[in-house]
């Protein structure tokens, strides 16, 4: 925290410097006319302040009209860029929100894809089990047919059983 006495002393010096510069500017205008060229060297000579002090912002605006208009231009220019910056920041926030939304959608899609892969793997395993089971049944049926042939039993009568079996399975669906 700054010492209040020090702050008071600095403010007094600042006010004294402003008064000296204002007095020096007025003196130059009175002595040389309204359109007199006011320079830091002339003000330093009249006011007793150094040129370095005269170029401080709070004093320079008092005597340098070009600096004042330049300050306004810089302010307007900065204001313009501040507005652009604000617009870009809002756009950035909007884009970040969209990115976050898209990342969540991608994450959900990836999870759904993994679930579908697991389902497909399970269905493939079930299919392979059923295929193996059907091959075993087919092999078993072929062995029975051979034995029936060996014993001289006519298998043409069994063809009708196959059609009856198809009708039963179709009715269950």
Give the model confidence (pLDDT) of 67-123 as tens digits.
766 555 555 666 778 888 888 899 999 999 999 999 999 999 999 999 999 999 999
pLDDT of residue 145: 83
Separation CA 26–CA 31 (nearest Å): 8
Q: How confident is the model at residue 64 (pLDDT cuts 50, 70, 90)?
A: confident
Q: State the virtual CA torsion across 40, 41, 44, 49 in degrees, nearest 10.
A: 70
Q: What angle separates helix 40-47 from helix 4-32, to the nearest 10 degrees? A: 110
Burial class of 27 by CB neighbour count within 10 A (0 to 12, 13 to 18, 19+): middle
Separation CA 9–CA 13 (nearest Å): 6
CB 68 within 8 A of CB 61: yes
Residue spans of the domains in the chain: they are 1-63
Q: How confident is the model at residue 23 (pLDDT cuts 50, 70, 90)?
A: very high
């Amino acid at each position: 925290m700054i010492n209040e006495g020090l702050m008071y002393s600095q403010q007094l010096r600042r006010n004294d410097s402003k008064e000296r510069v204002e007095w020096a500017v007025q003196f130059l205008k009175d002595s040389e006319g309204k359109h007199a060229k006011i320079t830091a060297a002339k003000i330093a000579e009249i006011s007793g302040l150094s040129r370095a002090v005269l170029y401080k912002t709070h004093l320079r605006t008092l005597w340098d009209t070009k600096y004042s208009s330049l300050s306004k231009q810089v302010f307007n220019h900065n204001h313009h860029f501040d507005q652009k910056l604000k617009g870009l920041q809002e756009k950035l926030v909007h884009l970040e929100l969209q990115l976050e939304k898209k990342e969540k959608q991608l994450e959900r899609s990836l999870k759904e894809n993994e679930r579908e892969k697991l389902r497909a793997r399970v269905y493939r395993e079930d299919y392979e089990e059923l295929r193996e089971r059907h091959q075993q049944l087919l092999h078993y049926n072929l062995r029975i047919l051979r034995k029936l042939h060996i014993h001289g039993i006519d298998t043409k009568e069994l063809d009708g059983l196959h059609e009856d079996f198809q009708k039963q399975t179709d009715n269950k669906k």
